[in-house]
Amino acid sequence: MPMKSAKQWILTDRTQNIQKEKIELNARQLGAPKCRKLCVTKTTLRGGLSEGVEVVEINNGALSISVIPTRGMGIWRGSYRGIFLGWRSPVEGPVHPAFVHQNERGGLGWLYGFDECIVRCGLESNGAPGRDVVPNNMGEPTEMELTLHGRIANIPASRVTVEASGGAKPIVSVSGIVEETMLFGPSFRLSARISTAPDANWFRIEDEVSNLRAVESEMELLYHCNFGGPVLEEGARLVLPAVETAPRSAYRAEDVETWAVYRGPTPGFVEQCFWHVLRGDANGGTMALLRNAAGDLGVCIRFNLSELPCFTQWKNTAAEEDGYVTGLEPGTNYPNTRAFERKQGRVPRLAPGSSRRASLTVEVLDSARLVKAAEDEIEKLRGGTAHTLHRAPDPRFSA
C-alpha cells in the first residue's frame, strides 16, 4: 500500500539486487530532529537458528518494535517505556525459515519457529493441520495435507522499505512485500506496512492481500497476537464486547465459565481456545483488551469486523519454561481446518487480480485511567447486549 512519504529508504529489493545488512536512521534523517530518540535500525543476526534473520527496529522514543522481514514481516517483540511486549517462548528465536519444516510432527512443524509477538497465519490457509481437497496440476480434485497456520510467516520479504511522512511528528513505517506463490496453485502477494509516530503508545499494521492468479482463489488470514508477562499474570483478564462464546473442544469445556480470567503459570497446563463473536460500532470497529490483575496495565487491539469478523482466544498458561502466553487472534475465520471453515461459509474468495485489506492497531495502556477508559469503551460497544455462553463445543464453531 503506497504511503505519501517525504523520504524513503530501500533496505531490500530482489528485482534491483539490493540488500542492506545494516542501516541506522536517526531523528534528523527521518525529518524530526526535535524527536531525538526517534530512530530506525536494521541488523542481520548471526549464529544458531537466527543465522541470516533480518530485524528492523522502529524506536519512536517511547515505544520500540522489532519487525522481521525474514519471517513474513511479523513483529518479534517490543517494549513501551520499559514494559516488555511479547512472550518468552521455549523457541530461542527469531528462527530463520530455513530451519522450520512445517510438515514435521503431523503438520505442526510451524511451532519450531513460533516466538513472535504478532505473527500472520495464512494466506492459503490457517488453523489446525488437516486434509482438504484441492485441484492438482491436472485440475483434478486431490486430497492433500494442509499444515498448521499456513506458510506466510516463513517466507522472507522480497522488498523492504522505510518511510517517513514528513512534518513535525512524522509517521514512520516499515513496509514489505511477501509473495506466497507456486505454479498450478495459490499465488498471493502480501503488502504490509507497520507504522508508528514519535512518542506514541501505539503501532499499526496495515495489510493488503492480492490474488495474483487469473482465477478465483480462497484465502485465510489471522493475526496471532501473543502476550506473556508483565500484562499476563494470575488474575489478568481479557475484556471483550462479546455476544457469544464457545469452547473449542470438550476437554475441560467447563473452563468456559472463566474464559475471561487467567491463571498464573501452571506446570502441565494444556492449551485451550475459545471462539468469540464480537460486537462493533456502526462502522464495524471493535477492540479487545488484555489487562493485568490490578487494572493498571494493559494491551488493547483495535480492528474492524468487516475485515476480521472472527475472534479467537488462545490460553496457554503453562509454566514459564513451556511458554506462558495468551493469544488474541482476530481473523477472517476461526482457526479450524479449512475444510470445516469452508462448510461454515467463513473462507473468503478473491476474484482474479483482486485484493482484500485488513488492519489492526495495538495500544499499550500504562495507567489505571487508560485501562478504565478502554473497559468503558468496550462496555459501550457491548451496548447491553446479552452474552450467550456455550458450555460445550458448538457445531457452528468447532469441527
Angstrom distance (rounded) from CA 349 to CA 363: 31
Q: Could you state, in chain order, the average pLDDT of each consecutive group of 10 residues for the chain (399 residues)?
A: 71 96 94 92 97 98 98 99 98 97 97 99 98 92 96 99 89 98 97 98 99 98 99 99 97 94 98 98 99 99 99 98 99 98 98 99 99 99 95 95
State which CATH number among 2.70.98.10, 1.20.1250.20, 3.30.2270.10, 3.90.45.10 fits the domain covering 7-389. 2.70.98.10
| DSSP run (H or E) holding 174 | strand 172-180
Task: Give whole-number Cα distances, 14 to 158, 159, 160, 194, in Å.
Answer: 5, 6, 9, 20
- Cβ atoms of 281 and 275 within 8 Å: the answer is no
Q: DSSP for 142-161?
A: EEEEEPTT-SGGGS--SEEE
pTM of the model: 0.97
Residues near 138 by beta carbon (within 8 Å), at least 6 away in sequence: none
Angstrom distance (rounded) from CA 200 to CA 75: 17
Q: Partners of 224 in the beta sheet? A: 119
Sequence length of the chain is 399
Residue with cell 481479557: 238
**Residue 5: what pLDDT?**
53
Residue with cell 495435507: 145
Q: Which residues of 227-246 are buried (b: 16+ CB within 10 A; e: fewer)?
A: bbbebbbeebbbbbbbebbb
Q: DSSP for 239-272?
A: E--EEEEEESSSTTGGGGGGTTB-----TTPPPE
- What are 23-30's contacts with CB under 8 Å, separation 24+? 23/162, 25/162, 30/164, 30/170, 30/172
Angstrom distance (rounded) from CA 183 to CA 141: 16
Tell me, what amino acid is at 166? Answer: G
Q: Helix H segments across 255-385?
A: 338-343, 368-382
Q: Which three cell numbers stand for residue 113?
A: 519457529
Q: Is the dihedral of CA 325, 329, 334, 339 positive or negative?
A: negative
Residue with cell 451496548: 383
**Residue 166: what pLDDT?**
78
Using only C-alpha atoms, what is the Rg of the chain?
A: 20
